[in-house]
Amino acid sequence: MVLDCRTVGSDDFELSFPSDQLAIEAWLREAGVPPADQLVAIAPVDRRGVRSWPLERFVMAASALGRMHGVRIVLIGASTSRKKSAQFRAAVGDKLVDLLGKTRVGHLGPLLRRVNLLIANDSAPIHIAAAVGTPVLALFGPTNPVRARPYGDGHVVLRTDISCSPCEKRTCANPNQFECLTAIAVTDVVETARTMLNRSEVVAWR
């Protein structure tokens, strides 16, 4: 397991309109999220399945982190799959803020600015989170993190050091399919996330 940790940088970019931030504030109010709660955003699916950590492991990680005091899990992504939402709801219960299928690109900036941590595959949200200064726990498999890691400091890349990774391919040639991703353990993700949350300041809106 390879950990790449640095300190949070100060780069900041504006990626949204005021109406997008108002929509995020409304969704969080409707979900009953207090300003002091730490929010962990989880983006569990990438359109290229070859870069996706198994969905059931995201669910297990969300369940473990959701049991932490003062932590809420925010589920994001383009999918509108009720089955995916139901899996997270069953594991996390009323500590889940389900925004799956609700957020367009303009919403992601203010939403990810509000959260304390994003956990995601190698995908667009990790770069949006980095742009607004939110720490990212990125799970990398076939992609080279030297080329595609989140920009700036304060982020962690979890990957496994196996001979065929990074391969940069769209299909997996390993007889042990997607080993570079399946070898990343839930416990590694959860413990790394806890460490990152413990060093994160609890803020309302940055």
Check pLDDT > 60 for residue 5.
no
Class of CATH domain 2-198: alpha beta
Averaged over 93-117, what is the pLDDT? 90
C-beta atoms surrounding 130 within 10 Å: 24
Check pLDDT > 70 for residue 3.
no
Say which residue, 16 or 123, is predicted with more confidence: 123
Q: What is the pLDDT of residue 46?
A: 65
Averaged over 106-122, what is the pLDDT? 93
In terms of average pLDDT, the best of 3-12, 22-31, 63-72, 192-201 is: 63-72
Give percent above pLDDT 70 in the chain.
86
Domain ranges for the chain, please list them: 2-198
Q: Global pTM?
A: 0.86
Torsion of CA 183, 51, 102, 17, to 10 degrees: 120
Averaged over 40-66, what is the pLDDT? 90
**Tokens at residue 43, please?**
């983006």
C-beta atoms surrounding 162 within 10 Å: 14
Across 56-154, the runs of DSSP E, i.e. the strands, are 71-75, 96-98, 117-121, 136-139
Closest-CA residue to 201 (of 115, 143, 136, 90): 115
